[in-house]
Structure 1
Amino acid sequence: MSDFYQNGIVTNFHNLTRRSVEALETDLKQFSRSRPMGLILPSLYSELEGPALSHIVDELCKVPYLSEIVIGLDRADREQFLKAREFFSRLPQHHRILWNDGPRLQALHQELAQENLAPQEPGKGCNVWYCSGYVRASGKAESVALHDCDIVTYDRGLLARLIYPVANPRFHYEFCKGYYSRIASGKLNGRVARLMVTPLIRAFKMIYGPLPYLDYLDSFRYPISGEFSMRADVLDGIRIPSDWGLEIGVLSEVHRNFSTKRLCQVDIADAYDHKHQPVSEDDPAGGLNRMSMDIAKAMYRKLATLGVEMSVESFRTVKATYYRVALDLIEAYDHDAAMNGLKLDRHSEEAAVELFADNIMQAGAAFFESPRDKPFIPSWNRVQAAIPDLQDRLYEAVELDNSGDV
């Protein structure tokens, strides 16, 4: 059973009573009368053929309170897009698929690129950004949730708990982050969060002092979870990172735009498992290797905007401090796993920490070598200022793609 502590600087919603999903959905149906709700699903076409997504769609078919489901589809040709339309057709809710590789959306992408407003690289960040623009153009949702499409332990209670804090008209929250324990197959998972993000945040606090931003990040139980919800108008003003720094970048953006009193986190699942990324020690462009680099760069960029002075020499201190904190945490996780009868391979844990420590240095070097790097996709507010009818034309393109004319 979850604890009840509020010992961070963001409100924490616990799962104290195991309230039934039916009871939560009764509340949400009532909330939807005044605050309609939507869901964004960023997906690769390959996930339609995987073990998780079909079950997720089966669960979503039972959800009674959603006004709209928006699916962002990446890496799909025409035939695959048509298969995706059939795959999602069993959803009873109003739903639309953004065919991101289709000619209509690609034409809009090229127009944005001519104005230096397009996402710089494909990926989840780009997918989520276009879905966000469609949600705002559609106007069918005032609160919107987002979760991944590879959750093999999915049930619709995850969505109900995730969207509840921003859907309840009595609450004042603008943004909510989901969290959960990462345990599956008798093992303790979540290496990037446990062994890289948390010890790096604490190393920064030791070196740079108790900055409010670092205390804020340290308040989140799973800061790199891919599940979050928000009031729909939050989507207008945030800049979404296009790389693996998406989750940290979104947390940084809402911290910049809102009081922490309007930000929260919620326990959304007793069990959570999804597609595991390989460490990819020999491939800096893949797996946890790439992810740790992008996350470190995202945190450096944010600290720089807060006036923290960094140098090449300071990254050696960050690396050394991180390494010591991470090793201490490995011992704590090892003992916790042993008491709970879980497996934890200390050798692979320490090997991962060594890789992350090297990447902290390399990310620092990359940060200094590319001072003009633009990792953030411009906010939709900026796009609307530059091309006022872009969202309307995005909406029309998606409607045409989904009507049969492709």
Structure 2
Amino acid sequence: MGDFFQNGVVTTLHRLSDRPLEALEEELIRFSRHRPMSLVLPSLYSELEGRALPAILEELARVPYLNEIVIGLDRADEDQFRHAREFFGRLPQHHRILWHDGPRLRELDRLLASQGLAPQEPGKGRNVWYCYGYVIASGKADVIALHDCDILTYSREMPARLFYPVANPALNYRFCKGYYYRVAGGRIHGRVTRLMLTPLVRALKTVIGPLDYLEFLDSFRYPLAGEFSMRVDVVREIRIPSDWGLEIGVLSEVHRNHAHSHFCQVEIADAYDHKHQPVSQDNPEAGLAKMSMDICKALYRKLATMGCVLHQETFRALKATYYRIALDFVDRYYSEARINGLAFDRHAEEQMVELFAQHIWLAGEQFLENPMETPFIPSWNRVVSALPDFLDRLYQAVEEDNA
């Protein structure tokens, strides 16, 4: 059960009661007549063989208000795509699968590449971007929500609470971020958020000074949550990062384009657990190492566009400031663990802080070496300007794959 405290510049919508799910869904059915809703599910084929996604589909099959479900399927050959069609066929809602490795979508990707508009690398950002394009092309939704396919504690209350603030015509929100706490197996999880990102944002406020953007990021309870909803017209104008900076990149884009009063965050679950990324301490191109580096560079690029001058001394001071703040956070979470009877390995937590401090510095060096790096995928408005019939082609390709 959440509190009701409002802090920062983003409205927080808590769980203040055990409202019956049926009552929430009944309202969403009414809202769907005026604001039809589409759910996007970015998925690897391997997740069809896990234990999370089958349970998610059982829950989604009972959701009564969705107009469309769009599944982005990565790393699947033809036989696996056929199996995926059968697997997702249990959904009673109108649904389509984007087979990203299929010949039709690959041909469209080559067309974009010929115009310098294609995503630069595979991954969740590329998957989500194409799914968003299909939702725009299909014209079946006014509100889009997104969540991952590896949630082990999933219930259909999650999408209901995620959709509600943006789908309700009586509210003024155009973007909503989900949040929750990460405790599973008797331990506190969410290391990248609580030990890296939040202390880093606090350190940036100290080193660079107070900025509205940093205050905005610091207002989110779980800024790296992979669950968010938004109006379709918001999707048309944002540029989505293709790497692990997706969540920070989306927040940065909507912050640039919209007023604070159009944002909110909503508590979507009492508890949340999904697959945990390996640390990959010796490989900066995998696991939490790559994730933290990509997030840092996404922040640095955003600050540079705002006129902040970043150099080696900036990153040296930032690393030292971050390290002290992050160690204070370790103390806070130790206290949290003790009062709640949770296991807490202080040595492992401080090792993670040391690793993140190195990544903050290394990400700064990479940013300075290649300041022109642009991992953002172009907005759909730009794609349509360059290739006016591209969305029609995308829609037709997906329909033929799913025929």
Q: Which amino acid aligns with 1:263?
A: F
Q: TM-score, normalised by structure 1?
A: 0.99
Aligned match of 1:309? 309
Aligned match of 1:61? 61
Q: Which amino acid aligns with 1:363?
A: A
Q: Which amino acid aligns with 2:390?
A: L
- Deviation string, structure 1 residues 258-314 (Cα, Å, up to 9, x no partner): 001101100000010001001110111111011000000000001111111110121
Q: Secondary structure at the match of 1:269?
A: coil
Identity across aligned pairs (percent)?
A: 67
Shift of 1:62: 0.2
Aligned match of 1:154? 154
Shift of 1:399: 0.1
What is the distance in 1 between the residues matched to 2:345 and 2:394? Answer: 48
Q: Aligned runs of 1:267-278 on 2, under 5 Å?
A: 267-278=267-278
- Deviation string, structure 1 residues 108-156 (Cα, Å, up to 9, x no partner): 0001001110000000000000000000000101011100000010000
Aligned match of 2:217? 217
- Deviation string, structure 1 residues 218-265 (Cα, Å, up to 9, x no partner): 000000000000011111000000000000000000000100110110
Q: List alignment gaps of at least 5 residues for structure 2.
A: none
Q: Secondary structure at the match of 2:391?
A: helix
Count of aligned pairs between the two proteins: 403
What is the distance in 2 between the residues matched to 1:57 and 1:360? Answer: 38
Q: Does 1:29 align with 2:32?
A: no
What is the distance in 2 between the residues matched to 1:197 and 1:368? Answer: 20
Q: Aligned runs of 1:385-396 on 2, under 5 Å?
A: 385-396=385-396
Q: Which amino acid aligns with 1:318?
A: L
Shift of 1:171: 0.8
In terms of mean alpha carbon deviation, does 73-82 or 304-313 score higher?
A: 304-313
Q: Aligned runs of 1:245-256 on 2, under 5 Å?
A: 245-256=245-256
Q: Which amino acid aligns with 2:192?
A: V
Aligned match of 1:351? 351
Shift of 1:183: 0.5
What is the distance in 2 between the residues matched to 1:6 and 1:327? Answer: 26
What is the distance in 2 between the residues matched to 1:290 and 1:20? Answer: 41
Shift of 1:208: 1.4
What is the distance in 2 between the residues matched to 1:366 and 1:208? Answer: 19
Q: Secondary structure at the match of 2:173?
A: coil
Shift of 1:185: 1.0
Aligned match of 1:195? 195
Shift of 1:23: 1.0
What is the distance in 2 between the residues matched to 1:271 and 1:224? Answer: 16
Q: Which amino acid aligns with 1:53?
A: L
Aligned match of 1:262? 262
What is the distance in 2 between the residues matched to 1:204 and 1:240? Answer: 23
Please give the root-mean-square deviation of Cα atoms over the aligned residues, in Å: 0.6
What is the distance in 2 between the residues matched to 1:376 and 1:12? Answer: 28
Shift of 1:372: 1.9
What is the distance in 1 between the residues matched to 2:238 and 2:377? Answer: 9
Shift of 1:18: 1.9
Shift of 1:377: 0.2
Q: Aligned runs of 1:141-180 on 2, under 5 Å?
A: 141-180=141-180
CA contact (8 A) 2:207 2:314 kept: no
Aligned match of 2:118? 118
Q: Which amino acid aligns with 1:95?
A: H
What is the distance in 2 between the residues matched to 1:262 and 1:34? Answer: 19
Aligned match of 2:51? 51
What is the distance in 2 between the residues matched to 1:19 and 1:180? Answer: 17
Aligned match of 1:398? 398
Q: Does 1:244 align with 2:280?
A: no
- Deviation string, structure 1 residues 339-388 (Cα, Å, up to 9, x no partner): 01111111111111111000101100110111221110000000000000
- Deviation string, structure 1 residues 298-333 (Cα, Å, up to 9, x no partner): 000011111111101210000000000000000010
Aligned match of 2:327? 327
What is the distance in 2 between the residues matched to 1:199 and 1:390? Answer: 42
Q: Which ranges of 4 or more aligned residues in structure 1 deviate by more than 6 Å?
A: none
Shift of 1:395: 0.2
What is the distance in 2 between the residues matched to 1:220 and 1:334? Answer: 22
Q: Which amino acid aligns with 1:285?
A: E
What is the distance in 1 between the residues matched to 2:10 and 2:115? Answer: 38
What is the distance in 2 between the residues matched to 1:305 and 1:371? Answer: 11
Q: List alignment gaps of at least 5 residues for structure 1.
A: none
Aligned match of 1:95? 95
What is the distance in 2 between the residues matched to 1:164 and 1:26? Answer: 11
Q: Which amino acid aligns with 2:166?
A: V
